[in-house]
Amino acid sequence: MPPETSATDRPATAPKLTPRALYQDVAERLREQIFARELEPGSWIDEQKIAADYGISRTPLREALKVLAVEGLVTMKLRRGAYVTEMSRTDVEQVYHLMALLESDAAAQVARQAGADEITELQALHARLESQSGQRDAFFATNEQFHLRLLEIAGNRWALQFVQDLRKVMKLNRHLSLFKQGRLADALAEHRAVMAAIAARDAAGAAEHMRRHFENGLAATTQ
């Protein structure tokens, strides 16, 4: 007869997985509206109207606004409520500066340590960018995918997380530099230079070309 097992000997029941909390879905929907400019930078967020539109109470909405405030997409003002964050020139300059530091370091890391298959993957993403130069939304999506994949390959998860948040904030910028006259062609040329340096295992060159890429993007944005 097998020995009796006590409650402490029995395997613990695995906790049940729960669906994503409502406030997370609300945060994602608000995020989409902000990026689509349905909620403009600087505009007041009418909590009562949005709660009615979404068919929810104001509690999950307020939790969602806290999430977006941490991401920098929403600014909470004392006794005035929540506003979609508006990017000043200084904000844009500071974000570009941080992204240039993080992504130039990542480009150097990739040039030093990436496997041949990873470099081939980045080259394929760049080739897709070249083919999408006339397709605004597709181009922006692939461009972001390229930069984030570069960071993933570099292997610093903190840098990746930081840049993901910075890129969300940059979508608030009213001035889309890539679509200014000649900027898109210049940006593609800068990408080519980065990729050439990575393929040649030139870490210093990859970092320098990436840094210039952000410097030129900032110059176009703030003109």
Segment 20-39 mean pLDDT? 91
- On whether the CB atoms of residues 136 and 179 are closer than 8 A, the answer is yes
Q: Which two tokens stand for residue 167?
A: 């890129």
- On whether the CB atoms of residues 208 and 164 are closer than 8 A, the answer is no
Please tell me the predicted confidence (pLDDT) of residue 216: 92
Segment 158-169 mean pLDDT? 93
CA angle 195, 145, 219 (to 5 degrees): 70
Question: Considering only CA atoms, which of 150, 139, 129 is closest in space to residue 207?
Answer: 150
Please tell me the predicted confidence (pLDDT) of residue 7: 45
SS3 of the chain: CCCCCCCCCCCCCCCCCCCCCHHHHHHHHHHHHHHCCCCCCCCECCHHHHHHHHCCCHHHHHHHHHHHHHHCCEEEECCCEEEECCCCHHHHHHHHHHHHHHHHHHHHHHHHHCCHHHHHHHHHHHHHHHHCCCCHHHHHHHHHHHHHHHHHHHCCHHHHHHHHHHHHHHCCCCCCHHHCCCHHHHHHHHHHHHHHHHHCCCHHHHHHHHHHHHHHHHHHHCC
Please tell me the predicted confidence (pLDDT) of residue 5: 47
CA distance 73 to 175: 16
Percent of the chain at pLDDT exceeding 70: 87
At 99, give phi and psi (nearest 5°). Answer: -65, -40
Question: Considering only CA atoms, which of 176, 165, 161 is closest in space to residue 222?
Answer: 176
Segment 42-65 mean pLDDT? 94
Please tell me the predicted confidence (pLDDT) of residue 176: 56
Q: Which of 65-79, 87-101, 164-178 has the lowest mean pLDDT?
A: 164-178
Confidence of residue 185 (pLDDT cuts 50, 70, 90): confident
Domains of the chain and any CATH numbers = 22-84 (1.10.10.10), 89-221 (1.20.120.530)
- The 10s digit of each residue's pLDDT in 92-112 is 999 999 999 999 999 999 999
